[in-house]
Amino acid sequence: MKRILLLQTGGTISMQFEKDGVFLDPARWSQVLYQQMPELTQIADISIENVFFEDSSDINPLHWSTLAERIYRRLKEFDGFVVLHGTDTMAYTASALSFALNPLNKPVIFTGSQVPMSNIRSDARRNLVNAVELATHPIHEVAICFNDHLFRGNRSTKMSIGDFNAFESPNFPPLAEIGIHINFSPDVMENDSLTPTCNANFDDAIHVIKIHPAMNTRALECMDISTFKAVIIEAFGIGNMPIKGPYNMLPFIKKCRDRNCYVIITSQAAYDAINLEHYSSGRAVKELGGLSAGEMTMEAAITKTMHLLGLNLEETKFNSQFLTNLAGERSDTETHSN
């Protein structure tokens, strides 16, 4: 039987309904989980460890490092890992781990639920059973198992607050679809011959700016850019933003670049990729040294930026690494001329 390590980090799956809402209750959760165990042990030989116990909105890069290092230390002992995690930031943690544990030669399958497992009509049991089953297969990457689908972690994003179908990977087909049989995609990574590594330093000196019509550029002018090493701009469509009159974003971008702060362009549209060559504003941003996040999710762009900053790379190396597909997060490798 395959040996699976089930790592608990909290989230709705482990919460308890009270009359005012849902709450983390570690004691009650242990009882509920142990009730599921006899059935799970038909699939695998399972060990359980608590890493932390948080609503995932409180999870930060220190939690990512703790989790990545825990998995790395236990890689030889187990055939696969299942991480129970809140849905709100699951795609961030999964993306962060995909960069920290790269390459990886074991499955690391994240799951959680929209309704606590302690509720009768919960999606938790199905997600957990599927995740444990998937962790016994040769899936050598970080993935999210939710609602009968397996998605690449750094391609996933939370799309729904109220539907069991909470996750999608807009620019990448699911790694597996789970019905009577499990249908795997040929894209699933298999790295048997690669030696796994762990690099779990994340630098949080970043800031995210979402462009909107009539954005107040005066507020941006007052920003102390010296506290950031990278600004991630969530632009319109293919990578556009205002470049005229009082809303012109270019002076702010120039100021960032003059202070050696990276400027990364992502899109508010979930599908398809940034192209900074297509329109005037994209070309102007690229000319100033803006970097395209291509088809990366916001979660992947943020965690990849923190990961690369954590490596203390010199600028040309940072640029080329950001534009390169490192862990399946983007399929295009772009070049940068600045």
CB of 165 to ligand ASP, least distance (A): 13
13 vs 263, beta carbon nearer ligand ASP: 13
15 vs 225, beta carbon nearer ligand ASP: 15
Bridge partners (DSSP) of residue 209 are 233
CB of 93 to ligand ASP, least distance (A): 10
Among 31, 47, 57, 316, binds ligand ASP (CB under 6 A): 57
| Contacts (CB under 6 A) with ligand ASP, residues 155-214 | none
Backbone angles phi, psi at 97, to 5 degrees: -70, -30
Contact 157, 170 (CB under 8 A): yes
H helices within 19-60, ranges in order? 26-40
H or E element: which one contains 90? helix 90-100
> 197 an active-site residue?
no
CB of 142 to ligand ASP, least distance (A): 17
* Size of the chain, expressed as the number of residues it contains: 338
Confirm or reject binding of residue 88 to ligand ASP (CB under 6 A): yes
- Cα(320)–Cα(242) distance, rounded to whole angstroms? 27
Among 114, 156, 267, 303, binds ligand ASP (CB under 6 A): 114
56 vs 240, beta carbon nearer ligand ASP: 56
Contact 35, 111 (CB under 8 A): no
**Which range touches ligand ASP (CB under 6 A), out of 55-63, 76-84, 277-285, 295-303?**
55-63
185's CB contacts (< 8 A; 6+ apart) are 173, 174, 175, 176
**Which range touches ligand ASP (CB under 6 A), out of 40-48, 61-69, 80-88, 288-296?**
80-88
Residue type, 102: N
Specify the 3-state DSSP secondary structure of 109: strand
- Cα(123)–Cα(168) distance, rounded to whole angstroms? 16
| Contacts (CB under 6 A) with ligand ASP, residues 3-42 | 10-12
Among 33, 40, 44, 56, binds ligand ASP (CB under 6 A): 56
Confirm or reject binding of residue 305 to ligand ASP (CB under 6 A): no
Specify the 3-state DSSP secondary structure of 51: strand
- Cα(246)–Cα(200) distance, rounded to whole angstroms? 41
**Which range touches ligand ASP (CB under 6 A), out of 29-37, 82-90, 223-231, 306-314?**
82-90
Strands 15-18 and 21-24: antiparallel
**Which range touches ligand ASP (CB under 6 A), out of 51-59, 206-214, 242-250, 272-280?**
51-59
The residues that touch ligand ASP, with contacts defined as CB under 6 A, are 10-12, 55-57, 86-88, 112, 114
Active site residues: 12
